[in-house]
Structure formats: structure tokens, C-alpha cells
Amino acid sequence: MEKAINSLALSVLLLILFFSSSSAIAVNYNVLSLGAKPDGITDSTRAFLAAWTKACTSAAATTIYVPPGRFLLRNVVFQGQCKNNDISIRIDGTLVAPADYHVIGNSGNWLFFEHVNGVSIYGGVLDGQGAGLWACKKSGNKGCPSGATTLGFSNSNNIVINGLTSLNSQMFHIVFNRCHNVKVQGVRISASGNSPNTDGIHVQTSSDVTILNSRIGTGDDCVSIGPGATNLWIENVACGPGHGISIGSLGKDLQEPGVQNVTVKGVTFTGTENGVRIKSWGRPSTGFARNILFQHSLMINVQNPIVIDQNYCPDNNSCPGQASGVKISDVTYEDIHGTSATEVGIKFDCSSKNPCSGISLEDVKLTYKNQPAEASCSHADGSASGLVQPTSCLQL
């Protein structure tokens, strides 16, 4: 009997030791202690990679801490799979890309996470130093690298980005591709209004992505939504300058997954080229966009506040005269108001082969120079209710 009690006590003790040594105690790595230098000049890539390797190979919840200061990083891949599904990266400092844009300009991504699960980034400034590359592209020089995405996630699940600032990316700022369950909150993304292809957040082939309470102003789309995006929620975003929030371009490929269940609400567009846009190439495709809700949004001096463009064919190259195969259906515009910078505030230019269906306008009011703006519809079917100004041209 006494022996039994002793061995029970021993196993309880062992259990306590086991849990306290493995899962219960969070581990913290400060990149300074791994050799990073906060001087903005010394290459800290190896220190960040060392921190990542420690975090990734540990089974315990791990925090990588980046203190104040400027940390120069070349392009880095934070590679999974990891043992760890709880890695936090807390950043009080600024990560800086190399001033010479050639260093990362052909690498696709500057900071790239692949096959990770449960990675959260809190705070921090990412400075892509893209201005030199934008100038190269503007000069017409054919030798410019295409540019790197500042922060990319691919094939990853359960991602949180909270309170991050991304400045002057060479190309797109933040990209999610083949990701599931992503929460982006309180981010600020900024690049010059005439910087090329500097989209704020791009989401494709991903599900359950939420973007909240953020401020995005760039030279391209504030948020762009590519093929295969489903269950996407965007709320309380200030957009501008830029090209607005775009679903598309869709239908570039013949075989393409659709976009489904997207909600965009509480967005203020200021001086943007578009407000809410759906865009597809004028060529055959299996793609589609359906169950889309644009709600409670304000347009301030926006060139094309509400637009569906299914005849996108830049330079008339490889699609002249073709109709888009992309089927657009069940799109609701509700409580959208403000000012258009052009006469046409609502434009539905749908595919002659696959007309838009189930387009619904409810309480939409757009003015141009203090008069109701105009609406233009082609191959669009749906309904209007409540106050709709300009008067809807949807066939009833």
C-alpha cells in the first residue's frame, strides 16, 4: 500500500516536471542575443534566421522579440513545417530592406513565411525602401528587377498580424496565398500614390481571412482579391490613395477557382481610382465571383465608385473581341454614398456571354458635382430598392 502511494506521488512529480519543462513555460528569444544589430547597417539576417530555427524546432510556445532600432534584413524565408504551432514575433523596432533594390528585387518576397501554422506578428515597422525601384520602372529601363513582396505567407494556417506598419514596398506589401484562417488587424500600409504595383494586401486561394481596422494608401489596390478567395471579411478600412478594393483581375486563366462569400463593409475611400470593383479579363475561364456584399461605405471624390468591368484586356493583347467566361452573381451594394469624381458613378460592364445576375442596389447615393451621378449597365440583371441615385439601369 505504502509502495503504491509512493509510486503515485512519483508519477505526479514526474508529470509536473514534464509539463513545466516542455509546454507550460513559454520561451523568449531576443534577436540581439543572437547577434542582430539595431544600427540599420549591419546585416541581421542570420540572427533572425537563428531565432526562427530555435522557435520552429521547439514544441513550446515561443516569442521572438525584436527591440527598438533598425534591423537590416536581406530576403529571408521563414520555413515550416515547424514543431511549433504557437510562435509570436513581437517587434518594437523597424526591419529595413537593403537600400540597393537589386539585392531582393528578384527574390519574389522579402520576408516570406511558408508552411507555417500559428504564427502571430505584433507591432513593428517594415520598410521596403521601394522608391529606387519605382523610379527605375518609371524611367522605362527594361533592366529593372520586378520587385519583392514585403511580407508573404504561403501554404500557412492560423496567422495573426496585429499593429504592423508596412512602408514603401517594392511590389505588393502583404500577400496571402494558400492560407487558411488569417486575422489582420490595426495595420497601416503606405506607399506613394503613383508607385507601381504596390498593392496593400493581396489574398488568393485562401479562406477565412479577416482584415479589420486598418489604413491603406498605395499606388495600386488597397486590397486585391484573387481567384480562390473564399470567406473573406474586410471591415473598417480607410483606403486611399490607390485603386480601391478590387476583386480581380479574375479569369486570366482558363481553369481557375472562383471567389465566394466576400464582405466589404465600413470602408472609406478617399480620392481613389475605384471604390468597390470587380474586374475580369475578356477571355474564356471557369472562374466566378458570387455572394459578394459591399456595405456601409463612403466614397470621397472617387473616380469609379461602383464598377464591374468584365472587358479587361490590357494592350488588347491575347483577348481582343472575346467575352469573359467569369460568371458574376449575387452582388449586393447596400448603403454606399458619397461623391464620384466622374459623371458615371455606377458602371456594370458585364460579360455578353455570362451576364451578371442577382445584382442588388439598396440605398445607394452618389453625386457628381452636387448632381446625381450617372449609371451605366450592360449585360447586368438585378434589382434596386430604397433610395438609389443615380437611378438604377438594372433590368427589372
Ligand X SMILES: *[C@@H]1O[C@H](CO)[C@@H](O)[C@H](O)[C@H]1NC(C)=O
320: contact with ligand X by CB under 6 A? yes
User: CA 92, CA 68: separation in Å to the nearest integer?
Assistant: 5
User: Which window, 28-36, 78-86, 94-102, 229-237, contacts ligand X (CB under 6 A)?
Assistant: 229-237
Single out the residue of 255, 316, 317, 370 in contact with ligand X (rule: CB under 6 A): 316
Single out the residue of 74, 193, 233, 253 in contact with ligand X (rule: CB under 6 A): 233
Task: Give the count of beta carbons closer than 10 Å to the beta carbon of residue 33.
Answer: 12
What is the secondary structure of 62-115 as a DSSP string?
A: EEEEE-SSEEE---EEEE---S-S-EEEEEEEEEE--SSTHHHHTSSEEEEEES
User: CA 342, CA 8: separation in Å to the nearest integer?
Assistant: 79
261: contact with ligand X by CB under 6 A? yes
3-state secondary structure of 321: coil
321: contact with ligand X by CB under 6 A? yes
CB 316 to ligand X: min, Å: 4
Please state whether the peptide bond connecting residue 81 to the residue before it is cis, i.e. omega within 30 degrees of 0.
yes
Q: Cβ-closest residue to ligand X?
A: 320
Give the number of residues in contact with ligand X, rule: CB under 6 A: 8
Residue 230 or 246: which CB sits closer to ligand X?
230
- Return the biggest CA–CA distance within the chain: 93
CB 153 to ligand X: min, Å: 18
User: Which window, 136-144, 175-183, 188-196, 314-322, contacts ligand X (CB under 6 A)?
Assistant: 314-322
CB 178 to ligand X: min, Å: 18
Active-site position among 199, 220, 309, 349: 220
User: CA 120, CA 86: separation in Å to the nearest integer?
Assistant: 8
Residue 140 or 321: which CB sits closer to ligand X?
321
Cell reading at 385: 430598392
Known catalytic residue: 102?
no
Active-site position among 243, 309, 349, 379: 243
7 Cβ neighbours under 8 A, 6+ residues apart: none
Which among 371, 361, 307, 363 is positioned nearest to 339, based on CA atoms? 371
Kind plus residue range of the DSSP H or E element containing 119: strand 117-127
CB 157 to ligand X: min, Å: 15
Residue 51 or 331: which CB sits closer to ligand X?
331
CB 42 to ligand X: min, Å: 43
Known catalytic residue: 243?
yes
141: contact with ligand X by CB under 6 A? no
Binding region for ligand X (CB under 6 A) = 231-233, 261, 263, 316, 320-321
* Residues labelled catalytic: 220, 243
